[in-house]
């Protein structure tokens, strides 16, 4: 090999040392010292250390990451934080910041831009006795797919309620191993407002998020995992998108509907959590209060509350919020409250069904504007129904117990919409004592079992070409949906766990480029590995471009990269028909978008299974758009 000149090596070393500057150490944990340390960030990659100590902040830090910085870590000396699964806590608060502001502002506000990553770790943020921060103890806003908040402690400490972390704009990432500790029953430990600036939307009310698809099973959400929630859990609105998984909770989650000028919560996944209450009779409570959008709720163990999921539409009456009549508001859905229906809903009859942003509704026309009366449907230029797709709520494989409280009515799912929504149309639920009666035969509900046991026939939704009954294949961890009639389609596979952002000290992970369009996301997809994620595993496999689009990628193949060993890749249609088999001993292989017969494949969603000679597996989905 030709050797490199010594001056080149020295130059490269110098360049690296400039990019990866020495840590910046705050002199203490005071607001002034931390602000001074942040002001010293000039390198492309920076770590700001906050030392051991207890400090009270009476003014906030409002910090914008410098444009030349692409990776910022704000790191304390440690905090009481959650163990894996959120089943308890470990450690003590070494860096403890009490936020005691009189103006209801966050203690720390960070603004981030495209291409930048942020990690906040090892810090306790404690609510002062005189403060109720309207935007969280910590607020992050801007656009980034690489935000991580981990091993932190957020404590109410006797205040009127905890606003822990607020996420605004277009933020993707993960909050992991955090301890949300609220002594007040009403708290918003995490506020998911991360659809307010979705895809560059300047309206700020979540409309672009509602014009985009669900992206279930992808990184297009903000994740909370391995967290311990004591008290309230989350609050989602403004087109927010979240996943709560592998956590322990005893507070409730609220997905707000459209109200005032805000759009509702766009999409949520809630799975493999443990929720327990032993102290208070929660006769009116639900773990997930869903007033907006589609949800996937599965594999949770719940005890001591009336419902796992409660569906509601607050715009049916003024019992929760008063609504201004159009053109100066969304108005009420149906005629029960005022005798007049709203043009924002699908129908102007007594029910208004389907209501704008209601549970079981998804992507629709883009609304423009940020205040009334200028908010309109961009396709018509008027205030009218945005043709939101039927996008049901699915609940399966949940374990429920009332915890000895013996509520008059109780179980997995409650429909509190006065007949507006319907079982096996707007929502589908599991079988058993608290769900559908009988056994699954493909006509109602959500069944589960081996993929080989899926019924040959099945019922789609209304019209025979909308999402219908579901089947959870336990051997492949996939939710299959019937659409169209008698055709099973792979609908969902859970995203990589642990989240890729948790696997690197710098908080970086899967690269996702979100385009300015409201309908397409281009992704370099990292897919889950088999057993183990160390050297030799498939945890780092990448597939790109995904989606493949003929207007951008014609003449280029789809690449499977970061393979190891002798690898076989099988590509299937979403109805499980084998399309192509690829074999390689290299670290990468390409697919030319043909089947095993040499014919070019059609547009659609494809499922791939990667297997190496060590028996490790990885799977994922890709899209071909022509």
CATH assignment at residue 532: 2.60.40.1930
pLDDT tens sequence across 108-139 = 999 999 999 999 999 999 988 766 666 779 99
Q: Which candidate, 305, 310, 309, places its Cα nearest to that of 407?
A: 305
> 535 and 458 in one domain?
no
Lowest-confidence pick of 344-358, 402-416, 500-514, 579-593: 500-514
Find the angle CA(277)-CA(279)-CA(281) to the nearest 5 degrees: 85
* Alpha carbon distance 439, 67 (integer Å): 58
Task: Give the per-residue pLDDT at 147.
Answer: 98
Using pLDDT thresholds of 50, 70 and 90, give the confidence band for residue 530. very low
If you average pLDDT over residues 455-467, what whole number do you get? 98
Q: Mean pLDDT over residues 139-149, rounded?
A: 97
CA distance 380 to 192: 30
Average pLDDT for 215-233:
92
Mean pLDDT of 186-190: 77
pLDDT for residue 549:
79
Instruction: Examine the pLDDT at 576 and tell me if it is beyond 60.
Output: yes
pLDDT tens digit string along 599-614? 999 988 888 889 888 8
User: Is 404 exposed, middle or buried (CB count within 10 Å of its CB: 0-12, 13-18, 19+)?
Assistant: exposed
- What pLDDT score was predicted for residue 504? 64
Percent of the chain at pLDDT > 90 equals: 71
Lowest mean pLDDT segment, chosen from 45-49, 507-511, 537-541: 507-511
The pLDDT-based confidence of 544 (bands split at 50, 70, 90) is confident
Question: How do residues 263-293 score in pLDDT, each as one tens digit?
Answer: 999 999 999 999 998 877 877 789 999 999 9
Average pLDDT over residues 427-437: 95
Shared-domain flag, residues 529 and 589: yes
Q: Are 270 and 242 in contact (CB under 8 A)?
A: no
Give the end of a domain, one of 492, 515, 536.
492
Q: Is a pLDDT exceeding 80 seen at residue 467?
A: yes
Instruction: Assess whether 531 and 483 both reside in one domain.
Output: no
Residue 54 reports pLDDT greater than 80: yes
- pLDDT for res 205: 98
Q: By mean pLDDT, which of 92-106, 204-218, 318-332 is the weakest? A: 92-106
Note whether residue 74 is domain-resident. Answer: yes
User: What letters, b where the CB count within 10 A reaches 16 and e where it falls short, cover 418-452?
Assistant: eebbeebebbbbbbbebbbeeebebebbbbbeeee
CA gyration radius, the chain: 25
Residue 139 sits in the same domain as residue 84 = yes
Question: Do 486 and 561 share a domain, yes or no?
Answer: no
Under the banding of pLDDT at 50, 70 and 90, the label for residue 546 is confident
For residue 243, being part of any structural domain is answered with yes
Handedness of CA 67, 71, 76, 77 (dihedral sign): negative
What's the whole-number mean pLDDT along residues 331-356?
Answer: 96
Whether residue 512 is predicted with pLDDT greater than 50 in this model: the reply is no
Stated as kind and residue range, the H or E segment containing 286 is strand 286-290
Poorest-pLDDT segment among 212-221, 255-264, 366-375, 532-541: 532-541
Average pLDDT over residues 477-505: 93
Same domain, 144 and 286: yes
Report d(CA 108, CA 115) in Å as an integer: 21
Assess whether pLDDT exceeds 50 at residue 23.
yes
**Is there a domain that residue 183 lies in?**
yes
pLDDT tier for residue 14 given thresholds of 50, 70 and 90: very low
Domain membership flag for residue 50: no
Tokens of 399: 């374990």
Rounded mean pLDDT, 54-79: 96
Does residue 480 contact residue 489 with C-beta atoms inside 8 Å?
yes
Q: Is residue 66 part of a domain?
A: yes
Q: Is residue 384 in some structural domain?
A: no
- Strand ranges, E, within 214-284: 222-225, 228-230, 234-236, 241-245, 248-249, 253-255, 267-271, 274-276
CA angle 365–469–350, rounded 5-degree value? 50
Domain boundary among 269, 296, 315: 315
For residue 553, name the pLDDT band (cuts at 50, 70, 90).
confident
When mean pLDDT is compared across 12-21, 163-172, 203-212, 388-397, the lowest value belongs to 12-21
458 and 539 fall within a common domain: no
For residue 543, what pLDDT is reported? 85
Which has more pLDDT, 359 or 519?
Answer: 359
167 and 250 housed in the same domain: yes
* Average per-residue pLDDT for the chain: 88
The number of domains in the chain is 3
Asked whether residue 272 falls in the same domain as residue 127, the answer is yes
Smallest CA-to-CA distance from 210 within 363, 64, 391 is with 363
Query: Of 35-39, 194-198, 529-533, 614-618, where does mean pLDDT reach its minimum?
Result: 529-533
The gap from C-alpha 112 to its chain's centroid, in whole angstroms, comes to 18
Would you say residue 125 lies in a domain?
yes
Domain match, 487 and 536 both: no
For the ranges 97-101, 258-262, 357-361, 539-543, which has the lowest average pLDDT?
A: 539-543
Structure tokens at 262: 């805000």
Give the residue with greater pLDDT, 611 vs 173.
173
Per-residue pLDDT, averaged over 506-531, amounts to 32
* 384-426: pLDDT as tens digits: 999 999 999 999 999 999 999 999 999 999 999 999 999 999 9
- Do residues 480 and 594 both lie within one domain? no
Check residue 289 and give its pLDDT.
94
pLDDT at 522: 35
**Whether the bond into 343 is cis, omega within 30 of 0:** no
Q: Give the pLDDT of residue 184.
A: 62
Q: What is the pLDDT of residue 541?
A: 80
State yes or no: pLDDT of 2 exceeds 70.
no
Q: What percent of the chain has pLDDT over 70?
A: 88
Please report whether residue 518 resides in a domain.
Answer: no
State the Cα–Cα distance between residues 183 and 56, nearest whole angstrom: 20
> CA-based diameter of the chain, in Å?
83
pLDDT at 579 over 50: yes
Q: 298, 315, 332: which is the final residue of a domain?
A: 315
> Mean pLDDT, to the nearest integer, of 197-221?
97
Q: Domain of 469?
A: 439-492
Q: Are residue 195 and residue 98 in the same domain, yes or no?
A: yes
């Amino acid at each position: 090999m030709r050797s490199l000149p010594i001056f080149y090596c020295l130059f490269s070393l110098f360049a690296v040392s400039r990019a990866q500057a020495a840590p910046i150490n705050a002199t203490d944990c005071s607001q002034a010292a931390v602000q001074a340390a942040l002001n010293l960030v000039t390198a492309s990659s920076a770590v700001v250390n906050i030392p051991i100590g207890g400090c009270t902040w009476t003014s906030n830090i409002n910090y914008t990451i410098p444009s030349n910085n692409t990776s910022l870590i704000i790191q304390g000396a440690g905090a009481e934080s959650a163990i894996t699964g959120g089943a308890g806590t470990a450690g003590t608060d070494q860096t403890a910041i009490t936020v005691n502001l009189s103006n209801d502002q966050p203690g720390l506000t960070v603004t981030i831009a495209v291409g930048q990553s942020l990690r906040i770790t090892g810090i306790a943020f404690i609510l002062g006795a005189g403060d109720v921060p309207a935007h969280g103890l910590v607020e992050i806003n801007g656009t980034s797919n690489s935000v991580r908040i981990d091993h932190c402690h957020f404590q109410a400490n006797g205040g009127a309620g905890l606003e822990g972390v607020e996420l605004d704009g277009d933020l993707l990432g993960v909050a992991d191993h955090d301890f949300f500790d609220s002594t007040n029953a009403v708290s918003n430990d995490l506020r998911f407002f991360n659809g307010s600036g979705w895809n560059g939307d300047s309206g700020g009310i979540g409309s672009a998020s509602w014009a985009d698809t669900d992206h279930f099973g992808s990184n297009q959400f903000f994740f909370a995992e391995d967290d311990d929630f004591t008290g309230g859990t989350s609050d989602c609105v403004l087109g927010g998108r979240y996943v709560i998984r592998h956590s322990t909770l005893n507070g409730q989650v609220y997905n707000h509907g459209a109200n005032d000028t805000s759009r509702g919560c766009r999409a949520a996944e809630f799975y493999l959590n443990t929720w327990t209450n032993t102290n208070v009779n929660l006769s009116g409570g639900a773990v997930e209060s869903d007033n907006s959008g589609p949800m996937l709720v599965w594999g949770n163990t719940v005890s001591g509350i009336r419902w796992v999921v409660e569906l509601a539409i607050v715009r049916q009456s003024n019992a929760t919020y008063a609504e201004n009549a159009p053109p100066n508001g969304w108005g009420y859905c149906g005629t029960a409250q005022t005798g007049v229906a709203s043009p924002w809903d699908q129908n102007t009859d007594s029910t208004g069904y389907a209501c704008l942003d209601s549970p079981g509704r998804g992507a629709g026309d883009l609304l423009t504007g940020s205040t009334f009366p200028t908010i309109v449907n961009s396709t018509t230029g008027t205030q009218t129904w945005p043709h939101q797709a039927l996008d049901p709520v699915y609940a399966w494989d949940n374990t429920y117990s009332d915890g000895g409280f013996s509520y008059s009515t109780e179980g997995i799912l409650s429909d509190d919409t006065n007949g507006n929504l319907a079982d096996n149309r707007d929502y589908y639920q599991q079988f058993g004592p608290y769900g559908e009666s009988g056994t699954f035969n493909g006509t109602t509900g959500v069944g589960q079992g081996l993929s080989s046991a899926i019924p040959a026939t099945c019922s789609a939704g209304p019209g025979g070409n909308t999402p219908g009954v579901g089947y959870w294949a336990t051997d492949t961890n996939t939710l299959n949906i019937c659409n169209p009639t008698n055709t099973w389609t792979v609908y969902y596979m859970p995203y990589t766990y642990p989240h890729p952002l948790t696997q690197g000290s710098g908080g970086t992970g899967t690269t996702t480029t979100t385009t300015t369009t409201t309908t397409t996301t281009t992704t370099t997809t990292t897919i889950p590995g088999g057993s183990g994620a160390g050297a030799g595993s498939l945890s780092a496999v990448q597939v790109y471009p995904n989606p493949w689009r003929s207007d951008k990628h014609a003449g280029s193949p789809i690449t499977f990269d970061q393979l190891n060993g002798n690898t076989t890749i099988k590509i299937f249609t979403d109805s499980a028909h084998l399309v192509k088999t690829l074999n390689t001993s290299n670290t990468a292989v390409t697919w030319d978008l043909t089947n095993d017969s040499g014919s070019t494949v059609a547009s659609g969603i494809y499922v791939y299974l990667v297997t190496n000679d060590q028996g490790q597996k990885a799977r994922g989905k890709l899209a071909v758009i022509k």
